[in-house]
Chains A and B, each alone.
Chain A
Amino acid sequence: MKQIPVILLLILAQSLAYAQDDYPDLNQISKRLKSLDKNSNVNLSTLTETIGGNDIQVLKIGKGDVNYKPAIAVLGGVEGYHVLSVELALQFAERIATDEEALDKTTFYVFPNMSPEAYAQYHHQLKYERRGNAANLDHDRDGRLNEDPFEDLNKDGYITKIRVKSPLGKHIPHPENEKILIEVDTTSSKATRYLVYSEGIDNDKDGKFNEGLKEGVAFNKSFTYNFPAFEPLAGNYAVSQKESRALLDYLFKQWNIYAFVTFGPANNLSSPLKYNAQEAKKRIVSSPLEGDVAINKMISDLYNESISQKPFMQDNMGTDGDFFQWAYFHFGRLSFSTPGWWIPEAEKDTTSTSDEKIKDTKLFNFMKWADQENRDDVFVDWEKIDHPDFANQTVEVGGVKPFVMENPPFTKVDSIAIEHTDFILKLAQQQPKLEFHNLKVENLKGGLKRISVDLLNNANLPTHSELGQRSRWLRKIRIDISASKNDIVAGHKIELLDRLQALETKSLSWIVKGNGKLNVKAGAPHTGFAELNINL
């Protein structure tokens, strides 16, 4: 009987520690990372401190010779507003840290949060979907910094929208849901028209609202592939920030990474990227190469087997300067990305009368789905306010709350994390695997011996992606024989191979002098190594 209160206390303590009901804040993330670091398979290190004063950290999870096993890198927080991604990365780390079987074969790098300042906006008094870090940046390039940020006009803690009743407006209420606005077209002449802006004041009186943001560079808009020079949030040049530099400097030293999984807005998992021959042949390669598209298809199938949610309206195949495309096009690794969750298709409404085309906007579907899910916390109803820029006009504040379209309610996260962990482990099972087969030693005259052996990549993935083969930042497969150079009559002491396809075999042979033990080793950090001991 005395034990019951103790048990209760334990349960209480556990639920306090784990049964979180919302996405973690930076402190809670940091605690979970520290607690992971206690596991002997996990090594937590800090890459840099952002100018906003937050640590950018990486978990290296593995066993034994961690640097010489093929590795997958997992990223969260490439977009700060996508808080789900951080939780998915964290839970992935927590779930695999003790998976001895998986760690025997694969090393994992987990970068849980690449945008800590933007992420923190989720827990801030003023909530909005922030992308930028704490750097000073003149987003609208007018020579003035932070001169026109958002303002919370209705003091509800959210940045939503303002709408101004005006014949000059380009938006009208949706015929089936008057809360939401759609673009005006010539068929809707009778409807009330609205001017729509983000919630705020035109502080610098330039006619634009909130274009001089009080935030810096967006991590996911700052990389070298199609870098959007001079656009807001992009920075003066690519990879200009401490966190992006520190990440790349680190990655360029981790030779064993063969694939990336980015939890971010882009998606090439629920449906794979397409091959475009013309773009792929350009000097500046602008389409994934044919062989790599086939790999993408195979991994996409694996994803759809693992994930219960059905693909719907996911059209982001990568955006300019993002990380996901960098990892493939400029780093030559296999690169996969998924938002982890997306708004499901709402059930069809059979009573609908209006035009099909108008009806199926993302927002309309979202509102309908939220309604079907009984979520009443996703929309700020339009409310009249006085606005200094529109004296004597009807101005209302309202709209979808930030974060709700990209992040599911926290209660759904565990199951999403379990499925995605499962997927990444399946991806790991496809990794390159070098094996020696059919060793033969023939005695020739005069003490010479011919050694022949087959080197097989016993895996569904090639050792190098087609593009990766062109990259000097992926090592070649190196085959070493321990015989001294003078004892090798034919064959190479060191031989380099560009690539082995899935299930491809390469036959090797040497003619050597002498007796004793010889060792043959083949591999690269990102393929792992095969080793063979021969007694002559």
Chain B
Amino acid sequence: MKTVNYTSLFCLALLLMSGSLTQAQEKFFRAIGTPHEPEVEASWNRYNTYAGIVDLMEKIADAYPKLSRLESIGKSYQGKDIYMLTISDFNTGNPDEKPAMYIDGNIHSNEIQGAEFSLYTAWYLTEMFGELDFINQLLKDKTFYIVPTINPDARDNYMKEPNTPHSPRSGMIVLDNDGDGEAGEDGFNDLNDDNHITYMIRKSPTGQYIKDPQDERRLIRVSMEEQGNYELLGYEGIDTDRDGEVNEDGIGYYDPNRDWGWKWQPDYVQRGAYKYPFSLPESRAVADFVIKHPNIAGAQSYHNYGGMILRGPGAEEDVDTYNREDIRIYDAIAEKGEEMIPGYRYLTVYKDLYSVFGGELDWFYGGRGIYTYTNELMVSYLYFHKNEGRGNQEEELKVDKYLTFGDAFVDWEEYKHPQYGTIEVGGFKKNFGRAHPGFLLEQDAHRNMAFTIYHAYQTPKLSILDVEEKSIGGGLKEITATIYNERLMPTHSSQDLKYNIERPDLVSISNVDVVTGMIVEDEDFNKVKEQVHNPETLRVPSIPGMGTVKVRWIVSGKGNYTINVDSEKGGKVSWRE
């Protein structure tokens, strides 16, 4: 009888509580890999302004108070809050003491989709918690710190104001780009008022270009001995300050990804550097947070584009910073990433891309010892499963003809220009090329998230494997404990060890009288390293990935002792007799 009662009560509760569930059961069928009935409704085929990002973050935080925490880590130059979502299972320990993965996006304001990928990660993890054992365990063990945009000012400028696909890139500080003593006096002008900065061309009897007779959108360069009838004038703009140059001094110029405090170099060495490391409020906010959170063991920053998983060093001068042990771990994680994200290649910044001093990933690793990747999101491969490279005009025209049906291109239209006379304005829109078209966004977000989950999964996971006790006479006992790290990353990267960036791991025994303590370097031949001072708490430099550390105490007396491991990046574990 009792069983029946419970069952019927349960059914009733279900009926009362979830009308929507019933509907969903009728209308929808679960797709593998995606939250089926999310608490927070979200669309992953469009982009969010800053307001949209904050709205989604607030909804996630409201819906999942036991899994997420919303906080501002600082203010942008224009005073916007830089919001972070902390995602972890708050019922299983302090999230700031679990091994953590830091994720941010949008450092370059025009590289927008990093924000959506970050948001997708927060959304997916919270929605799938309780559904998948893997995610339950992941959030029990780990913490994710997610900052969808670390450049909120210029993100909104990119979206709301006329821009090219490449502008602003910086934040919103206006500098004097041409050295004439005035700042920002001659930026782009949206001549045709469509919120996109496209190209200006002009009919000219001495031009080098013609319009393709089969495709009006395409300009073709004629061969050297041929005469064309169009010339290229550059991006839409007028000579606002009458100095004979067009668009030579708009907002920005500086590069937020040259503002970080590892081997920072000034502008004449590293173009785009601002005044000194963390002289921009946005990067300073991140640095302050990261320094205060030594539990961050892995990090990911999202850029666009080109389909790359990048690691440092950013500059050849810094090659020695990345040593072999750490590169092995970088390789292991990123090579898995290449499998998970088809079309993406694992590369090293300085030799495969270009030189960067003062980049974010170099500070995370060089300055903090954190294994860090930058992903260049969006790649030509996603269009037709061929890698045609960045900015391949032929491919892009084809995409817009067969897949986006003209949505990506502003057709050429005549305009009377104050300096150039009659011109035509047109070309690809700012949100094409670098940004994913909507129908490709969700898939790539999921795959990149899966890579960051794998990365997070490989942060250290410690356990006390085994405690052996042996009497050595004279009322003394020898206690030997084996601490195991069952993941790829050590508790201290070799960069961390080289400079003692974070403190050693502390392995302590309590409730017993300790005569002496030691780290066992080779048990078979009894090679040990004694710690004379304060042997109750042994200071272990690092616990290797997929490896163990043995510690030993000689103790006297009886009683139930406890062994604790306290590691900044490996978390805390204890063992009781």
A: residues with CB less than 8 A from B are 140-144, 204-206, 224, 227, 229-230, 236-240, 245, 248-249, 252, 255, 283-285, 329-332, 467, 470-473, 475-476, 478, 485, 492-494, 496, 524-525
CB A476 to nearest CB in B, in angstroms, measures 4
Interface string of B350-391 (1 = CB under 8 A from A): 000000000000010011000000000000000000000000
Are A238 and B181 closer than 8 Å at their CB atoms? Answer: no
A525 to B179, CA, bound (A): 12
Q: Is B189 interfacial (CB-CB < 8 Å)?
A: no
Q: Take A236-B291, A237-B287, A494-B243 as given contacts and tell me if A224 and B266 are in contact as well, using a CB distance cutoff of 8 Å.
A: yes
Contact of B268 among A142, A224, A249, A332 (CB under 8 A): A332
Q: Which residues in B have their C-beta under 8 angstroms from that of A525?
A: 181
Cα distance, A206 to B531, chains bound together (Å): 10
Q: How far is the CA of A531 from the CA of B241 in the complex (A)?
A: 21
**Chain A residues whose CB sits within 8 angstroms of the CB of B262 once the complex forms:** 229, 237
A75 to B558, CA, bound (A): 65
Question: What are 13 A-B pairs at a CB distance below 8 A?
Answer: A141-B499, A144-B503, A230-B500, A240-B261, A245-B276, A245-B279, A248-B279, A285-B269, A329-B266, A331-B266, A471-B267, A472-B176, A472-B179
Q: Is B324 an interface residue (CB 8 A)?
A: no
- 6 smallest CB-CB distances across A and B, nearest first, come from A143-B503, A237-B261, A141-B500, A470-B268, A205-B533, A239-B276
A206/B181 in contact, CB under 8 A: no
CB pair A492–B500 under 8 Å, yes or no, is: no
Of the candidates B261, B278, B504, the one having the most CB atoms from chain A within 10 angstroms of its own CB is: B261
Q: In the bound complex, how far is the Cα of B39 from the Cα of A356, in angstroms?
A: 85
Q: In the bound complex, what is the Cα–Cα distance between A496 and B500 (angstroms)? A: 50
Chain B nearest CB from A213 CB (Å) reads 16
Indicate if B11 sits at the interface (CB-CB under 8 A). no
Q: Is the CB of B266 within 8 A of A476?
A: no
Contact A206–B533 (Cβ < 8 Å): yes
Contact A485 B242 (CB under 8 A): yes
A48 to chain B, nearest CB (A): 15
Q: Which residues of A contact B291 (CB under 8 A)?
A: 236
Question: A330: nearest residue on chain B (CB-CB)?
Answer: B266
Name the residue on B nearest A495 (C-beta). B243
Q: Choose from A252, A467, A470, A475 the contact partner of B275 (Cβ within 8 Å).
A: A252
- Chain B proximity of A228: nearest CB distance (Å): 11
Contact of B264 among A205, A227, A331 (CB under 8 A): A227
B181 touches A224 (CB 8 A): no
B367 near A229: Cβ-Cβ < 8 Å: yes
Q: B500 near A142 (CB under 8 angstroms)?
A: yes
**Beta-carbon contact of A229 and B499 below 8 Å:** yes
Q: Please, how many angstroms separate the alpha-carbon atoms of A240 and B153 in the complex?
A: 24
Contact partners of B504 in chain A: CB under 8 A: 142-143
Contact call A238/B264, Cβ cutoff below 8 A: yes
CB distance from A304 to the nearest CB of B (A): 31
CA of A472 to CA of B264, assembled, Å? 16
Against A, the Cβ 8 Å flags (1 = close, 0 = not) of B151-164 are 00000000000000
A283 near B499: Cβ-Cβ < 8 Å? no
Which residues on the A side are within 8 Å of B563 (C-beta)?
none
Residue B317 lies at the interface, judged by CB distance under 8 Å to chain A? yes
Residues of chain B lying within 8 A (CB to CB) of residue A467: 268
Chain A proximity of B225: nearest CB distance (Å)? 34
Residue of A nearest to B502 (CB): A143
* CB <8 Å contact, A524 and B268: no
Please indicate the chain B residues that have their CB under 8 angstroms from the CB of A205 in the complex: 532-534
User: Distance (Å) between the CB of A242 and the closest chain B CB?
Assistant: 12
Q: In the bound complex, do residue B179 and residue A284 qualify as a contact, i.e. CB atoms below 8 Å apart? A: no
Q: Which of B242, B261, B276, B366 gathers most chain A CB within 10 Å?
A: B276
Distance in angstroms from A325 CB to nearest chain B CB is 12
Shortest B15–chain A CB gap in Å is: 57
- Assuming the contacts A237-B261, A476-B180, asked whether A492 and B244 have C-beta atoms less than 8 A apart, the reply is yes
